Copies of this chain bind each other. A is one copy, B any other.
Amino acid sequence: MRKGDTQEIRRLNRRAILAHLRGGPLTRADLSRLTGLAKSAVSRLVDELLQEGLLEEGAFTSPPVGRPGTLLHLRPGARFALGAELGVEGTVLLALDWRGEVLWAKEWGHLREAGPKERLEKLLREILPHVPGPLGLGITLPGVVVEDRLLLAPNLGWRNLNLRPLLADFPLPTALENDAKASALSEVFFHGEANLAYLVLSTGLGVGVVSESRVLRGASGAAGELGHWLGQGNKTCACGRIGCLETEVGLGTLLEHYRALGGKAEVLEALLHLAEQGEDLALEAIHHLGEVLGRFLANLAVAYDPGRVVVGGKAAELFTHLEHPMRQSLEAHAFLEAHRSLPVQPSVYGHLAPAVGGASLFLVKFFELGGLWAESPRRNGGRYEEVAFSDRRGPGV
């Protein structure tokens, strides 16, 4: 429920122009046709965007007849954002260009006992050389996140933390997000799809759901935590409950199953290595996981009905081995005809997906704002909410 004034409509139209240009270079005439705006309006807005350094003129078109047009494109590096992943095994930090290109990335492990404070302080030291410049820093972690609070991260062993004081030390706007949701956003940012599910399958299992181009969050940020759907199993989960789906579908079970079959690998990496070499037991265990996964996908399809599923997390490395049994199992268990051929693919950004998604939080916002980013006074430590729309909402719906 946004209030309309003369600035707002300019913002809407800038947004439309930028959105179309994300798909590739276009002339002013193209933009006029695509947006429905008058040529004069496009001309004015484009001039403005050129002046701000957001756009650049490029080559000329050579149409069969008529005057050639000037192609416009988003100027590389005009804006970028930082994204970080605080994962179970290590930390990733990267910079993402507003066109979706990873400018640089940095990864490091961490001491097992490092708490949120230590890890965020380390992150702060790493980003200091890069500010000012980025639009913001999006931090992702495998847990349930609401605003600046982390409610629960079983696989990190963290629970009920208010990170706002720590984030306030960062000299740029920050945002916190769940890793699966951020990963899903990275795909949306790149492909612009309306309905998809991003499966993060490692030790844990989480799903980032996108519906009508929006990330599903829920009232407490727990939407998509299907790893904690209670099934019939009797194993104890890291969350303390019994029978969570991630004790059946997670990669932990893969290793267990492999060893139950008589396999020798002690850790997951060894198993993956053996699978690459074609060891039968390893392949059998993975095949079984594929079947379980296919059935899970059929369930995922009735829960969220995504148009496409992206597989990320450690399991993405197994994708070639998993794919066939997974598809067969999905076909056998699908509810709708349409689900039988549900596209399932590995992630475009690979293991960088969560961090890319973190950065996307700000880039998406930037595009939504039509590039009218408030270079804000950042009074309260540059909190993410302050760069939000200046909406004046009415009561719901």
**B191 in contact with A396 (CB, 8 Å):** yes
Copies of this protein, total: 2
Contact string against B for A residues 191-235, beta-carbon threshold 8 Å, 1 for contact and 0 otherwise = 111110000000000000001111011111111111011111000
From 125 to 156 in chain A, residues with beta carbon under 8 angstroms from any chain B beta carbon are 144, 151-152
From 152 to 206 in chain A, residues with beta carbon under 8 angstroms from any chain B beta carbon are 152, 160, 188-189, 191-195
**A13 in contact with B3 (CB, 8 Å):** yes
Chain B residue at minimal CB-CB distance from A9: B4
* A23 located at the interface, meaning its Cβ lies under 8 Å from any Cβ of chain B in the complex: yes
Instruction: Give the 8 A-B CB pairs with smallest separation, nearest first.
Output: A218-B305, A192-B396, A4-B9, A19-B394, A4-B12, A219-B307, A232-B232, A222-B305
**B397 in contact with A364 (CB, 8 Å):** yes
Interface residue ranges, A against B (CB under 8 Å):
1-6, 8-13, 15-16, 19-20, 22-23, 34-37, 144, 151-152, 160, 188-189, 191-195, 211-214, 216-226, 228-232, 239, 241, 295, 298-299, 301-307, 333, 335-339, 364, 367, 392, 394-397
- Known A20-B394, A214-B214, A225-B302; 10 more pairs at CB < 8 Å: A1-B16, A4-B9, A4-B12, A19-B397, A195-B219, A212-B214, A219-B307, A221-B305, A222-B302, A230-B333
Tell me the complex Cα distance, A9–B4, Å: 5
Q: A394-B35, A396-B193 are in contact. Are A211 and B222 (CB under 8 A)?
A: no
**B217 in contact with A305 (CB, 8 Å):** yes
Complex contacts, A304 vs chain B, CB 8 Å: 216, 218, 223
